[in-house]
Copies of this chain bind each other. A is one copy, B any other.
C-alpha cells in the first residue's frame, strides 16, 4: 500500500489538493495517455489501471474522466500513440515487396517495444475514424501503384497484418512456452524443439523472431510469384 503523502515524480505540488478547479492545468488527454503507456511498460497491464494512472499523476481516479470517456477509449488512444510511430517511408523508394517487408518489421517492432500492449490491443480492435486508416492508405496506394489490382490490395494488407499481429502475440509470450520438458509421448515435437534450440543458440535469435522472419519471407515470396503471374494491364 502507498500512503497519500508519497507521490511519484509527476505529483509535484506535494500538498494535497482540495476540491474545486485547480489553479494551473493539471491534466490533459495527452498526458494521461503517455502516463498510461509508461506505466504499462514499467509495471505491465495490471499495474496501469485507472487508479494507478491517477495516483501517478497525483490526482483522483474520477478526475481522469474529465479528459477520457473510459478505459476503452484510453487503451485505444495508447494504441494510436504506438501505431503512429510505424514507419511507412519504405513505400516511397523501394520496390513493393521490399517495402512490404520493411513495413512488416517496423509494424511488429513498434508493438514489440511495449510487450504488454499487444494482448491488450488484440482484444479491443481499433475504433473507426482513427489515424490507422492513413497508414492503410499509404500501403494501398503503393501496392496499386506497383501494379496490383485495386480489389486485391486490401486483402493482401489484411492478410499480412494478421500475420504480424499473430507474430507479435507469439513474441509477447515466454520463449520456452512450448518446452516439452521431460515428455516422452511427443518424440517428433521434442526432437524438433531441441534441434531448433541448437540452431538458434548459434545466433542468439529468439524463436519468435525466427518464426516471424521465416513466415514473412514465405508469404512475400508467395505474393511475388502471384504478382509475376498476374495478367498485365
Using a CB–CB cutoff of 8 Å, the interface residues on chain A facing chain B are 119, 122-123, 125-126, 128-129, 133-134, 136-138, 140-141, 144, 149-156, 158-167, 169-170, 173, 177-181, 183, 185-193, 195-196, 198-199, 207-208, 210-212, 214-215, 217-223, 225-226
* B173 A128 Cβ-Cβ under 8 A: no
A170 to B141, CA, bound (A): 22
Contacts of A190 in B (CB 8 A): 137
Partner of A178, one of B133, B173, B218: B133
**Copies, count:** 2
Q: Is the interface of A mostly helix, strand, loop or mixed?
A: helix
Q: In the assembled complex, how far is the CB of residue A80 from the closest CB belonging to chain B, in whole angstroms?
A: 15
**Assuming A158-B207, A169-B165, A208-B158, is B119 touching A199 (CB within 8 A)?**
no
* A218 B223 Cβ-Cβ under 8 A: yes
Contacts of A123 in B (CB 8 A): 119, 122-123
* B177 A212 Cβ-Cβ under 8 A: no
Contacts of A159 in B (CB 8 A): 163, 167, 211-212, 214-215, 218
